[in-house]
Amino acid sequence: MIEYSTELFTASIAMADYLERFHDRRRFEELCRQCPCYGARWCCPPLTDCAHTDLHRYTRADFMLLKVTPLQSGAPLEQARDIIRRERIALERTLLERERALGGLAVGLTGDCPYCGPDAVCARTAGDPCRHPELVRPSLEALGFDVARTAEELFGTPILWSRDATLPPYLTLVCGHFV
């Protein structure tokens, strides 16, 4: 794995404000339907748990944004998978500790669920319960929030995309905790 540096930023917003300005469940559900993970991972839509669907029960949304900067430019994009997996597990561990201490709902990161192993098939594909429900939480996207705007407007950090199969200047991981 290539070397990289990380910077962690935090932000908070009233939940009513976050719902009004950044939430569009129908739009993001439609986008999620185009992903092969839709209905095939327990962290992805369609979500049925009322802790995930009744978001007005929370009063505040706290966020963490991790900016991951590769120390060499032009590294192949495949490197992103291992970097994101490692940093995601560490970030979500922090979120789950907060959830245990304060209640509410930890909101994880999007993408392939890492908890059954890198190439495991999710139990949902066979209609079975999640093997690690104590670790798995939905992402902001799965809950219907605009993560790109969250990063840009609450952190001033636009999400960058790869253009030529190499890593962008930085990767952005955004997750949160609703209390």
Contacting residues toward ligand SF4, per CB under 6 A: 41-43, 113, 115-116, 120, 122-124, 130-132, 136
CB nearer to ligand SF4: give 137 or 177: 137
Q: How far is the CB of 132 from ligand SF4 (least distance, A)?
A: 4
CB–CB of 61/18 below 8 Å? yes
Q: How far is the CB of 129 from ligand SF4 (least distance, A)?
A: 8
Q: How far is the CB of 82 from ligand SF4 (least distance, A)?
A: 17
Quick one: 142 exposed, middle or buried, by C-beta within 10 A (0-12, 13-18, 19+)? buried
CB nearer to ligand SF4: give 74 or 118: 118
Q: How far is the CB of 114 from ligand SF4 (least distance, A)?
A: 7
CB nearer to ligand SF4: give 60 or 124: 124
* Spatial separation of the C-alpha atoms in residues 143 and 138, rounded to whole Å: 7
Q: How far is the CB of 52 from ligand SF4 (least distance, A)?
A: 13
* Spatial separation of the C-alpha atoms in residues 46 and 33, rounded to whole Å: 9
CB nearer to ligand SF4: give 123 or 159: 123
Q: How far is CA 174 from CA 72, 74, 96, in A?
A: 23, 23, 15
* Spatial separation of the C-alpha atoms in residues 28 and 9, rounded to whole Å: 25
What token pair was written down for 130?
Answer: 């999640």
Which are the contacts of 97, defined by CB distance < 8 A and separation ≥ 6?
none
CB nearer to ligand SF4: give 134 or 164: 134
- In which residue are the tokens 């995930």 written? 52
- In which residue are the tokens 């900067």 written? 69
